[in-house]
Structure 1
């Protein structure tokens, strides 16, 4: 199986030629139905931007970034979807459960683990 990044499946040069602006959604590398992980790992965001800059006029690029995260129940099961949560609500959740907010230097993104009030739900939020 050939692994082609999603952004490489589009003809950025042709699209960039005919549009005034191109919105690039640089997020959802991990999503509700995926395994836990960063919504916008910095290496993937950089790769996408670099690809766009090589193939179109930079003045036409508008970069979309996430202002949300996902809350996965652990252990991860593909049958259980994560829930979306705003950045502000994620901070409140960490404060309510005294969960330290960690920072992934690899993904350049925050995350934290917590257990809810029932004690039966270890969760991971990115």
Structure 2
């Protein structure tokens, strides 16, 4: 599991920052054979109201909704290269500031590149990303896909 650094009840930050994932994998490959490691990846995002108040919950949704929300509020989507994650800020109709961290095809590709770099068995999803239509295309460009049950 390489996600939930930014989580529904926590402070705003990327859900799956690649720099943190690499720290986990640097340890994991010393304790587990690489051929047995499936890296769990996130395929969603969170919208936090700012300023963050402990005890509040972010809203979760898929990448398509994140992009639609950015468009609705005229927000510019930025890309943080240290965490390999997209994000944007906006002000809602009530004047509340928000920050949204989510996944997109670029951040998903960064995770796939990490799997390849570390020589891992592959990736896994908690649930298939139905609201992330780029996933099958990015996967097909990178791997031979097999569904295991």
Q: Which residue of 1 aligns with 2:67?
A: 91
Task: Pick the structure with greater CA Rg.
Answer: 1
Give 1:33 deviation, angstroms: 1.1
User: Secondary structure of 1:40's match?
Assistant: coil
Match of 1:27 in 2: 3
CA distance in 2, matches of 1:69, 1:31: 9
Partner Cα separation in structure 1 for residue 26 and residue 55 of structure 2: 35
The TM-score, its normalising length taken from structure 1, stands at 0.76
The alignment status of 1:108 with 2:74, answered yes or no, reads no
Task: Please report the TM-score for the alignment, with normalisation by the length of structure 2.
Answer: 0.64
RMSD, matched Cα: 1.1
1:57 to 2:33 alignment: yes
Residue in structure 1 matched with residue 56 of structure 2 by the alignment: 80
1:123 match: secondary structure: strand
Residue 75 of structure 1 and its aligned partner are, at CA, apart by 1.0
Gaps of 5+ in 2: 102-149
Match for residue 142 of structure 2? none
Helix, strand or coil at the partner of 1:43: helix
SS across alignment from 2:26: helix
- Structure 1, unaligned runs of 5 or more: 1-24
Structure with bigger strand share is: 1
TM-aligned CA deviation for residue 40 of structure 1: 1.0
Paired residues in the alignment total 101
SS in 1 for 2:23: helix
1:9-32 Cα distance to aligned partner (Å, 9 max, x none): xxxxxxxxxxxxxxxx10001111
- For residues 33-52 of structure 1, what are the alpha-carbon distances to aligned partners after superposition, in whole Å with 9 as ceiling and x for unaligned? 11111111111101111211
Secondary structure (helix, strand or coil) at the match of 2:9 reads coil
Output the CA distance in 1 between the equivalents of 2:46 and 2:54: 14
